[in-house]
Amino acid sequence: EVQLVESGGGLVQAGGSLRLSCAASGISIADYAIGWFRQVPGKEREAVSCIKPSDGKTYYPESMEGRFTISSDIAKNTVYLQIDNLKSEDTAVYYCAADRGPVFAVGPWMPGLYDYWGQGTQVTVSS
């Protein structure tokens, strides 16, 4: 059974930092592209970043460049998302997702292309 478990969310003041983790089981992240998305109620799921742990390639939408850093540890089968200088608009549920196909070449910002999803971790930024 494939499981992606996010952790590291919480309540943080604006300007602070968080590191989210996505621990995978049932798959090896080296064989997948792993993406981070976020969603607020009433809005579509929004791409934050994506990484191919096998070669370290990363993707960030232009709107996410600068404050978000994705990384991976194949030995721990875990992908991380560092968020710095948190802003109130970062408040959302953050999800990680895995795809074994060509999502990185086709469209890492497309949630419909990913095969597996975690349950999400809530990030709340207070101003």
pLDDT digits (tens, 9 = 90+) for 29-48: 999 999 999 999 999 999 99
Three-state SS string over the chain comes to: CCEEEEECCEEEECCCCEEEEEEEECCCHHHCEEEEEEECCCCCCEEEEEEECCCCEEECCHHHCCCEEEEEEHHHCEEEEEECCCCHHHCEEEEEEEECCCHHHHCCCCHHHCCEECCCEEEEEEC
What would the pLDDT profile of 39-83 be if each residue is shown by its tens digit? 999 999 999 999 999 999 999 999 999 999 999 999 999 999 999
pLDDT at 21: 98
Mean pLDDT of all residues in 110-116: 95
| pLDDT of 109 strictly over 90 | yes
Q: What is the mean pLDDT of the chain?
A: 96
pLDDT of 10 > 90? The answer is yes
Per-residue model confidence (pLDDT) at position 38: 98
pLDDT value at 104 more than 90: no
